[in-house]
């Protein structure tokens, strides 16, 4: 097969890689998108909760209160699930995560992330319109509900913390929650409505629609193994199903697998997978939801999706490649039936497992590889990859084409590790 040439090869066709490919293409670069799967969004970007979280300026920090840590460690907190056998491997990472979660560092991270998060909705719209995603993207925000006065305190302390950022929030009584979501159950005592975020009824279809736009604009999508990437002369070479590929620059956007590629070039990123599951459910008596709803004190979301009501779990601490377990989902499902009494039967044969690609300081890596000319990174988007994929693609493309980036890229540098 003849050697193919391209300006940039983007490795990984999740929301992050697809978005980077579109932005580089818009800057006039010939781009080839490579994934080991024959389609975009077959991994983490397939199964998330579908929220474009324009309110998520503060990161998902590790708890600091001793009681909360003890409850999580002892398996008493349904928001987290720990695979104890994995602890010898993952404890050092959790320790780094804990250290980065101090109040001062939490605020510093929020300040660094703000410039990205604030543009997430407009950057999605900029892709959604030409891609004609239609009903795949939904207005109406999402609701954080509470069951007790303690839950209300937690939610309102978040609102208080967010005040300097002028995020639109509406505190709702139980009755007001029911006006927006009439099918929620007795356990809901009130909530906070974040009206500005978007949500999608199918994260996989959304990313695939963006990928179609990339191809319609002349981009190539090719099956290949990113781990075959090698330096070649001044550029990069890769083996693909369509033959050898030569590129001037390469972007590693492999989500939780980026560390496998980086290791081969001598970069040891502390990338861990905060795992999470989903299951779809039917609904009895025509019940439905209009937007994603969080059960704050139990730590899962219910999102209306094309396939049904999707319950997404909080975090499972395990090694990335540990086998899946239905334990966390099984524990949360009864809470889901309290939150929405008309939640119907399971629709999937097994829970889907996803791996949030997480660095301990809760920021992605977006920028050049420190020791390899023409190699770039765009990964580690943790709980917010759907939110931040498009805006990260813009930042990366501006850096790669020598433009002044719209936001200070320093906090996202690869050499901070």
Q: Which residues bind ligand FAD (CB under 6 A)?
A: 11-17, 34-37, 42-45, 48-51, 53, 225-227, 253-257, 276, 278, 312, 354, 356-357, 379, 381-387
Nearer to ligand FAD, 149 or 225 (CB): 225
As measured in angstroms, the least distance from the Cβ of 63 to ligand FAD is 19
As measured in angstroms, the least distance from the Cβ of 378 to ligand FAD is 8
Nearer to ligand FAD, 172 or 211 (CB): 211
Nearer to ligand FAD, 50 or 308 (CB): 50
Nearer to ligand FAD, 341 or 409 (CB): 409
Phi-psi domain of 365 (left: phi exceeds 0; alpha: psi -120 through 50; beta: other):
beta
As measured in angstroms, the least distance from the Cβ of 104 to ligand FAD is 25
Q: How big is the CA angle at 95 (ends 17 and 296), to the nearest 5 degrees?
A: 70
Q: Strand, coil or helix: what is 72?
A: helix
Nearer to ligand FAD, 56 or 407 (CB): 56
**CA dihedral over 196, 209, 11, 37, signed as positive or negative:** positive
Nearer to ligand FAD, 88 or 118 (CB): 118
As measured in angstroms, the least distance from the Cβ of 285 to ligand FAD is 27
As measured in angstroms, the least distance from the Cβ of 64 to ligand FAD is 23
What are the DSSP calls for 176-201, one per residue?
HHHHH-TT--TT--EEEEE-S-EEES
Residue 203: burial class (beta carbons within 10 Å; 0-12, 13-18, 19+): buried
Residues 16, 253 contacting (CB under 8 angstroms) = yes
As measured in angstroms, the least distance from the Cβ of 232 to ligand FAD is 18
Alpha-carbon separation of residue 170 from 53, 184, 194 (angstroms): 16, 18, 7
DSSP H/E element including 355 = strand 352-358
Distance, in Å, from the CA atom of 58 to the CA atom of 151, rounded to the nearest integer, reads 18
């Amino acid at each position: 097969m003849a050697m193919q040439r391209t300006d940039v090869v983007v490795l990984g066709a999740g929301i992050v890689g697809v978005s980077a490919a579109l932005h580089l293409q818009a800057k006039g670069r010939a781009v080839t998108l490579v994934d080991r799967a024959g389609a975009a969004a077959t991994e983490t970007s397939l199964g998330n909760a579908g929220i474009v979280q324009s309110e998520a300026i503060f990161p998902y920090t590790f708890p600091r209160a001793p009681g909360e840590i003890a409850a999580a460690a002892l398996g008493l907190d349904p928001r987290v699930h720990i695979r104890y056998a994995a602890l010898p491997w993952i404890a050092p990472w959790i320790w780094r995560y804990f250290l980065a979660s101090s109040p001062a560092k939490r605020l510093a991270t929020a300040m660094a992330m703000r410039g990205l998060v604030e543009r997430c909705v407009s950057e999605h719209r900029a892709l959604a319109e030409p891609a004609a995603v239609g009903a795949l993207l939904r207005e109406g925000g999402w609701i954080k509900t509470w069951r007790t006065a303690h839950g209300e305190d937690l939610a309102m302390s978040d609102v208080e913390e967010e005040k300097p950022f002028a995020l639109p929030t509406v505190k709702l009584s139980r009755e007001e929650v029911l006006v927006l979501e009439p099918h929620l159950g007795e356990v809901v005592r009130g909530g906070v409505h974040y009206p500005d975020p978007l949500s999608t009824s199918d994260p996989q279809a959304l990313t695939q629609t963006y990928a179609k736009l990339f191809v319609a604009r002349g981009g190539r999508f090719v099956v290949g193994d990113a781990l075959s990437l090698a330096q070649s002369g001044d550029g990069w070479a890769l083996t693909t199903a369509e033959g050898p590929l030569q590129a001037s620059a390469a972007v590693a956007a492999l989500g939780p697998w980026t560390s496998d590629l980086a290791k081969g070039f001598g970069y040891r990123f502390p990338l861990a997978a905060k795992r999470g599951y989903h299951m779809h459910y039917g609904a009895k008596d025509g019940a439905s939801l209009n937007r994603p709803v969080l059960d704050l004190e139990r730590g899962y979301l219910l999102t209306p999706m094309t396939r049904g009501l999707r319950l997404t779990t909080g975090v499972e601490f395990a090694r990335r490649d540990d086998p899946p377990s239905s334990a966390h989902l099984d524990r949360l499902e009864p809470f889901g039936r309290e939150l929405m009494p008309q939640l119907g039967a399971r629709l999937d044969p097994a829970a889907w497992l996803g791996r949030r690609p997480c660095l301990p300081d809760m920021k992605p890596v977006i920028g050049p590889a420190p020791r390899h000319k023409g190699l770039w990174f765009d990964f580690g988007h943790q709980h917010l990859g759907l939110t931040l994929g498009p805006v990260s693609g813009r930042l990366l493309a501006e850096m790669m084409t020598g433009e002044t980036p719209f936001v200070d890229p320093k906090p996202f540098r690869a050499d901070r590790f």
